[in-house]
Structure 1
Amino acid sequence: MSEEMKKRVLGLVSLHRSVIAEGGGSLCKKFNQEAARVLLELEEEGLFDLSDRMMDILAQCKGQSRGEHDGICERGRMVQGMLDAIEKWVQD
Structure 2
Amino acid sequence: MGKLLQIIGIVIILAALAAAIALLVADPATAQLRALVMLPWALSAILSGILLAAFGSMLRQLSAIRAATERQAALFQAILDRRAPTAAQ
TM bucket normalised to smaller: 0.3 to 0.5
Kindly name which structure, 1 or 2, has the bigger radius of gyration based on alpha carbons.
2
Q: Greater helix share, 1 or 2?
A: 2
Calculate the TM-score normalised by the size of structure 2: 0.38
User: Which protein, 1 or 2, shows the higher relative CO under an 8 Å CA cutoff with sep ≥ 6?
Assistant: 2
Calculate the TM-score normalised by the size of structure 1: 0.37
